[in-house]
Each structure stands twice: as C-alpha cells, then as structure tokens.
C-alpha cells in the first residue's frame, strides 16, 4: 500500500499498520474505551476507511490542505498517554520455556512444571492503577525480603529488580455480563489489538511474599506498556500454526484456527550516561504455549465479565536458547552469572538503567512494529 504521507524506510508504522493511540498537544487526554467497545465489524470499517483516506489514490486529505493540517499531527509534537482506561489487568504465565526455567531454579528438573500448567492458562490478577505508558520512570520498590540464612525478614529497597519481556492485548467488543462466558470460537471478536509490555518484578520481594497466593508488591509497583495498539487485522498476515499441546486441551480451550503470531522481540538496556541501547535478549511471541484465544476463553469460563479496555498480559516470553530468555532472572540464572551490557555487565537492573522492549513482524517487504516500550529505574524513595 502507498500513502501520500511520507513514511520513513524501516518505520514501524506503514499504511498496513495504522495502530491506535491516545496523545495530546499541550493539555488534554482521552481514551479509546468507547471505540474498543464497538463490535469488531466497526473496527474493520474504521481501519478500512482510514487506510483509504491516507492512501495515495484518495484526494480527500491529499488535496485539501486545510483539512489535512487539522487531521495530521507530527508525532514529535505530541505527548503519548495510556491508550485506554484500564479497569482490570490480568497477567498470564504462558511460556513453557519460562515456566520450566523458573521451576528448575526453585524446584528442580523433576518438578519444573506444576501439575496444572499444561491443562490451563495459569494467570493472576494484577494492579491496573500502576500500568504506565512507555517513557514513564519507575522507582525501585520497597518491601520485605528474607535471606535463606536468617530467621526473620528485613525491610528495605529491592536488590533484585528485573524486567519481564511480555506482550499484552486489550479486550474489545461490547461488555459481557457477569455469569456469561466468551466461547473460544468467538474470542477473536473481543481481542482488539496488542501492545508490548514490561511487567517489572522485584525478585527478592517476590520470593518471600508469593506463597501461598502469588505475586503482590513485587509486581504492583509498575508495569510499562507501549502506547500504540497494533490491531489484529494488521497482524493477520503474521498468524502461524498454533503450538502442539500435549495433553490435548479440554473442549472449551480447543481451537484449530491459527492464532499464534510470529513477532520478533528483543530487550535492550541503556545504562545511565550511555548513549547506546545494548541488546540483552532476542525472543519471539510464537514461543507461547497458550494462545490469546485460549487465555480469554479460560478467563471468562467461570462467568467473569470483561469490559472494553481490560488488559491481558502474556507472561514472560522465553525461547529455548539462553539468548532468548525473557528476564534477567533467567539470563543470569538466578544471579549465578553476569549478562554483558555494552562495556559493563548486569545480573539484575541497576538504578539509572533504561530498559526498552521492541517488537516487529516482517513479510514481503512490509514491516509492522510496535514502537518503544521504555522505562527507567530510579533509586528507591526514602522513608
């Protein structure tokens, strides 16, 4: 597709992409919840109309300077915001390699995966209020930690802050009723689009607090997402066959239509004072065991209602090679080795480090990207 708008070579956002986002010039902010809440045919109609208006063949904007100046704004002139009012946020645990790695570290090879892991998409409810847009700095969290060789916990700043390479999707379509479920055959009608996600973690706080109910303060201090929601229609050419699941999923989780995506992902770290971003891992979204449709079908099978703007995270996306592990916990193997970051090394994230997650798909000369998912870790606040 060709647009009359000049798009730089290698841009994440050609006419084939057209992501949705919320921005302001000066003051003001809105959200996409109402648009997300429309039925999927409305999303497709809007996308087709926007592509038509921006195409080189259409004269509506191309030859109307006054209208074009109102409709088009330079990205360098705007401030990006969260794309939606996030009412609820759920994080899954859907990468078999990540779950296996963490299981080996803490339980050994014989008990790496918990008995339920291959039967259902494991997840937990996160904190929506601390989901922030790319570019928002976060402070190192405070909390309780306990070393193995002492009898009582201590309070202070986390020493083991980590990133988690994730993606997430925003729920769309009309709000479902309490007691209603989304059938897996209809799940795509409620998957609006995807963003990159860094679900920051404090591993030492997490280790002490997570039994018996799971993550709490170790996760809720901040989750970074990219500002642009890439639509599923834009990602459709990059759908690939689903992973082979053994045992076969129960009927309510079974679907044969491809809904796994070939999205290249990487994480970079830029230390304080360094001009360069240094890549620490490469992974791919296809490394997930459970699909987005399965996550949504399972989430609602008990009658949990979903609202436009709800956010569902994939969980850390790790691949089979050491260079594709999606967290410092894995890359440093629980701190037993160092990870090269330019001229220095890391075991976990240090104050002043800026972490960025990047993702793109490429096929037939078309590149679909997601932009930046950046966050800088600041020193802990003083009590």
The catalytic residues are 98
**152 appears as a binding residue in the annotation:** no
* Alpha-carbon span 85 to 109, nearest angstrom: 41
Separation of alpha carbons 162 and 327, rounded Å? 7
175 belongs to an annotated ligand binding site: no
* Strand pairing class (311-313; 260-261): unpaired
270 belongs to an annotated ligand binding site: no
Angle at 235 between CA 233 and CA 241, to 5 degrees: 115
Is position 164 annotated in a ligand binding site? yes
Answer yes or no: is 334 a known binding residue. no
Q: Is 166 annotated as a binding residue?
A: yes
Q: What values do phi and psi take at 342, rounded to 5?
A: 65, -125
| Alpha-carbon span 327 to 336, nearest angstrom | 14
Report DSSP state, residue 3: B
Terminal C-alpha separation, the chain: 56
What phi, psi does 23 have (nearest 5°)? -140, 165
Q: How far apart are CA 161 and CA 335, in angstroms?
A: 12
User: Is 210 flagged in the annotation as binding?
Assistant: yes
The strand pair at 138-139 and 373-378 is best described as parallel
Q: Which residues are annotated as a binding site?
A: 91, 93, 107, 164, 166, 199, 206, 210, 219, 223, 316
Q: Which residues are annotated as a binding site for Mg(2+)?
A: 219, 223
């Amino acid at each position: 597709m060709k647009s009359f708008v000049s798009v730089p070579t290698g841009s994440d956002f050609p006419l084939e992409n057209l992501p949705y986002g919320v921005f302001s010039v000066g003051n003001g902010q809105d959200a996409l919840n109402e648009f997300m809440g429309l039925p999927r045919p409305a999303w497709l109609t809007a996308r087709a109309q926007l592509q038509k208006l921006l195409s080189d063949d259409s004269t509506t904007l191309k030859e109307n300077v006054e209208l074009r100046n109102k409709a088009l704004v330079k990205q360098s002139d705007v401030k990006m915001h969260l794309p939606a009012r996030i009412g609820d946020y759920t994080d899954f645990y859907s990468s078999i390699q990540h779950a296996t790695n963490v299981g080996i570290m803490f339980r050994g090879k014989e008990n790496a995966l918990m008995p339920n892991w291959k039967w259902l998409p494991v997840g937990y409810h996160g904190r929506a209020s601390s989901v922030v847009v790319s570019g928002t700095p976060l402070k190192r969290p405070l909390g309780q930690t306990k070393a193995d060789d002492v009898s009582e916990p201590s309070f202070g700043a986390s020493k083991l802050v980590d990133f988690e390479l994730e993606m997430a999707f925003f729920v769309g379509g009309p709000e479902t009723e309490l007691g209603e479920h989304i059938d897996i055959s209809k799940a795509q009608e409620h998957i609006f689009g995807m963003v990159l996600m860094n679900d920051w973690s404090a591993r030492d706080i997490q280790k002490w607090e997570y039994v018996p109910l799971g993550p709490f303060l170790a996760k809720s201090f901040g989750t970074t997402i990219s500002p642009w929601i890439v639509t599923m229609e834009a990602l459709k050419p990059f759908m690939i066959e689903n992973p082979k699941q053994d045992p076969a999923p129960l009927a309510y989780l079974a679907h044969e239509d491809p809904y796994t995506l070939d999205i290249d992902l990487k994480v970079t770290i830029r230390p304080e004072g360094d001009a360069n971003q240094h890549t620490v891992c490469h992974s791919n979204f296809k490394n997930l065991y459970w699909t987005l449709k399965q996550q949504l079908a399972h989430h609602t099978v008990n009658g949990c209602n979903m609202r436009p703007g709800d956010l569902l995270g994939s969980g850390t996306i790790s691949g089979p090679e050491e260079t594709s592990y999606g967290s410092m916990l894995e890359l440093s193997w629980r701190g037993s080795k160092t990870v090269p970051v330019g001229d220095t090394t890391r075991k976990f994230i240090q104050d002043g480090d800026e972490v960025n997650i990047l993702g793109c798909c490429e096929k037939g000369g078309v590149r679909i990207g997601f932009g930046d998912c950046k966050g800088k870790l600041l020193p802990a606040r003083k009590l």
